[in-house]
A = this chain, B = another copy of it.
Amino acid sequence: MEAMKKDLSPKKQRFVEFIQNFTDVNKRAPTFQEIMNGLKIRSLGTVNWYVRELEHSGSLKRSGASNTKRALMIPEQKQNTGSLPLLGLIAAGYPLEAIENRESIEVPLSYAYSENYVLRVKGDSMIDDNIQDGDYVIVRQQASAENGQTVVAFINNEATLKRYYPKPDGIELHPRNPAYTVIRIGAEDEFKIGGVVLAVFRRYE
């Protein structure tokens, strides 16, 4: 039926996240000892307590039988949640900054397709488009764009958000705010479209 989402205590949550992250980075599950060091716990007993506890509540499983080493794993997450992966941080004029532990961000159902992804805006470099620090941008991954669409553009490995205007004599990128300057892509520039911007999302706390 439904994936039961136990709401875990902060500490248990941190525990699960550590395992998730470790597995992600090292391509294998941590040992109890590694968890202990990583979380600054001073006793294996404590680690064991967490494992039992979380296993019992279904938030943690193991790939092998009992006693198997490095067997801890996070059970599959729910599928149709209407969320997209947060791929990185974008700041105009800088390369995309990847994110360590892959987060996922909930979006309206109509955006929840596999070719879409989310970027988080860092800094106020897009303030002229009324996009501010911390905003999320929903993007559809594609290499081409229509005239006038807002795209994630990579120019010489620097990322930015601009309107796309192909012209006979080259590509123009316009800021949404006409008070700012137009960028013209020259032959010497390396240029790539990272996707089309579908929406901007800002969470107030």
Chain A residues proximal to chain B, CB less than 8 Å: 7, 9-10, 25, 28-29, 63, 69-70, 81-83, 105-110, 127, 130-132, 149-150, 196-205
Interchain CA distance A108-B82 in the complex, whole Å: 7
Q: Name the B residues within 8 Å of A28 (CB-CB).
A: 7, 9-10
Choose among B70, B197, B200, B202 the residue that contacts A9 (Cβ–Cβ < 8 A).
B70
Contact A69 B9 (CB under 8 A): yes
Choose among B81, B105, B108, B203 the residue that contacts A106 (Cβ–Cβ < 8 A).
B108
Interchain CA distance A34-B156 in the complex, whole Å: 50
Q: Name the B residues within 8 Å of A105 (CB-CB).
A: 108
* Distance from A102 Cβ to chain B, minimum over Cβ atoms (Å): 18
Chain B residue nearest in CB terms to A205: B25
Number of copies: 2
Choose among B81, B150, B199 the residue that contacts A201 (Cβ–Cβ < 8 A).
B199
Contact A200 B202 (CB under 8 A): yes
Q: Name the B residues within 8 Å of A205 (CB-CB).
A: 25, 149
Closest 5 CB pairs of A and B: A106-B108, A200-B202, A130-B130, A82-B109, A130-B132
Chain B residue nearest in CB terms to A29: B7
* Distance from A110 Cβ to chain B, minimum over Cβ atoms (Å): 5
Interchain CA distance A180-B144 in the complex, whole Å: 41
Question: Which of A7, A29, A105, A197: most chain B Cβ within 10 A?
Answer: A7
Interchain CA distance A7-B130 in the complex, whole Å: 34
Question: Which of A29, A106, A149, A198: most chain B Cβ within 10 A?
Answer: A106
Interchain CA distance A105-B110 in the complex, whole Å: 10
Q: Name the B residues within 8 Å of A149 (CB-CB).
A: 204-205
Contact A109 B110 (CB under 8 A): no
Interchain CA distance A125-B201 in the complex, whole Å: 19
Contact A197 B201 (CB under 8 A): no
Interchain CA distance A75-B202 in the complex, whole Å: 27
Interchain CA distance A25-B204 in the complex, whole Å: 9
